[in-house]
Amino acid sequence: MRIALYAFDGITMFHLAAPLMVFGEVTRLELAPDWETRVWSDRPGSVRTDEGYPMSDIAGPDTVDWADIVIVTSWPESLPRIGDELTSALRGAHRRGAEIAGLCLGSFAIADSGLLAGRPAVTHWTKMTELRERHAPAGVDESVLYIDHGDVMTSAGTASSIDSCLHIVRKHLGSAAATRVARSLVVAPHRDGGQAQYIERPVSEASGDTAIADAQSWALERLDEPLPIERLAEHARMSRRSFIRRFQLETGSTPARWVLDKRLEEARSLLETTDRSIENIAALCGFGSAVTLRQNFRASFAVTPTAYRQQFAVGCATVGAVDRQR
């Protein structure tokens, strides 16, 4: 398997190192000695990384003709439109049967090239809106770490490039090979959930000294209690209809959605910072039962509360994990 990794001036070292590390491990473990990886750019010579280090011996665009897989490892933060030469290179490789992939912001280059042909894509969660606007109407999917259409693949942000490259190993060499590579690198062979669990989700708040803002503050102190719209409206001294209309006008959200988001936000915090049981957290956050919490949590973050805690919990559990590795 011949793999060509695209680089450019300003690329971060990690975005190049991740695929080089995963595919290099395939060779080092002698899982497929014929796998070879080359780094190329628009012009042969060298590129300077975002960290300020020069990288020499960079191949030129003719490397694309050599490759079975062409990967755009990232893309500039300014998200410029793809140039004609790179577009031609990617399309030409695709026409002759090479697989094309865009890792992290590299998804923008793949979308610009037209190779996704109306199919959904994924990128770093901070740039989802920009990709959605550029890639409409196919859309984006924040619930996954990568999307592989067989011939074209895109991946979510930063470390998801490792997941994507392990997927490529799994796809071509099988699960056993991908698991060996993952174990050697001390990473998970397959991570639960998508990047939805990492996204910071600002919850709409009313501003100023208004009845809606007061109702929100009042509700935050009672998340463990039933909070139907009628109760919130009564506290704000409004009719149900007027309260909903005013709430949406001031926050851009519905009262029910706001309460659910606040409960989920509190549940995430408790999962990260306490060892309370899922049942107890469900009660404290007003979900009523662990089942209801799990259903809503998974629907919002594409991962279970237990898996989320394993990934993000801080404190004693984390220290214990470090101590055991010693």
Same domain, 169 and 106: yes
Task: Please indicate, yes or no, if residue 38 is contained in any of the structural domains.
Answer: yes
Segment 16-44 mean pLDDT = 95
Reduce the DSSP state of residue 299 to 3 states and report it.
Answer: helix
Task: Look at residues 137, 169, 198 and tell me which one is the last residue of a structural domain.
Answer: 198
Phi first, then psi: give them for residue 286, nearest 5 degrees.
85, 20
Decide the pairing of beta strands 2-6 and 36-40.
Answer: parallel
pLDDT greater at residue 97 or residue 307: 97
Cβ-proximal residues to 280 (8 Å cutoff; 6+ apart), any chain? none
Q: Is residue 131 part of a domain?
A: yes
Query: Is the separation of the CB atoms in 35 and 206 below 8 Å?
Result: no
The verdict on 6 and 154 lying in the same domain is yes
Dihedral angle sign, alpha carbons of residues 288, 292, 294, 296: negative
Distance CA 191, CA 144 (A): 10
For the stretch 247-299, pLDDT in tens is 988 888 899 989 998 899 899 889 888 899 999 999 999 999 999 999 999 88
pLDDT digit string, tens, across residues 212-241:
989 999 999 999 999 999 999 999 999 999
**Together in a domain, 174 and 280:** no
E strand segments, 98-209: 99-102, 146-148, 152-155
Does the structure show a pLDDT above 90 at 323?
A: no
**Within a domain: residue 321?**
no
Q: Considering the domain boundaries, does residue 324 fall inside one?
A: no
On whether both 241 and 289 belong to a single domain, the answer is yes
Domain with residue 71: its CATH number is: 3.40.50.880
Does 319 score more than 50 pLDDT?
Answer: no
Same domain, 69 and 194: yes
**What whole-number distance in Å separates Cα of residue 211 and Cα of residue 7?**
54
pLDDT at 208 over 80: no
Residue 126 CA neighbour count, 13 Å, CB half: 7
**Most confident of the following: 70-84, 121-135, 153-167, 181-195:** 70-84
Residues paired with residue 71 on neighbouring β-strands, in sequence order? 5, 101
**pLDDT range class, residue 159, cuts 50, 70, 90:** confident
pTM: 0.64
Q: Which residue has the tokens 């060509």?
A: 4
Count of H helices and E strands in the chain? 15, 8
Domain match, 266 and 153 both: no
Instruction: Kindly report the CATH number assigned to the domain that includes residue 216.
Output: 1.10.10.60
* CB-based contact 143:302 (threshold 8 Å): yes
Quick check: is 325 in a domain?
Answer: no
The answer to whether 293 and 265 have CB atoms below 8 angstroms apart is no
Number of domains in the chain: 2
Q: Are both 220 and 268 inside the same structural domain?
A: yes
pLDDT of residue 201 exceeding 60, the answer is no
Q: Is residue 320 part of a domain?
A: no
Q: How far apart are CA 26 and CA 76, in angstroms?
A: 28
Token couple for 164? 């994507």
Largest CA distance in the chain: 73
Q: Which domain holds residue 40?
A: 2-198
Shared domain for 236 and 191, answered yes or no, is no
Residue 32, pLDDT above cutoff 80? yes
Domain stops at, among 198, 221, 242: 198
28-42, 66-80, 238-252: which range is least confident on average?
238-252
User: Pick from 172, 198, 224: which residue ends a domain?
Assistant: 198
At residue 40, φ and ψ (nearest 5 deg) are -135, 165
Note whether 244 and 165 are same-domain residues.
no
What rounded mean pLDDT belongs to the chain?
Answer: 87
Hey, what long-range contacts does 244-248 have (CB within 8 A, 24 or more apart)?
Answer: 246/211, 246/212, 247/206, 247/212, 247/215
Contact (CB, 8 A) for 276 and 284: yes
155 lies in some domain = yes
**Residues 171, 216 share a domain:** no
The pLDDT assigned to 197 comes to 45
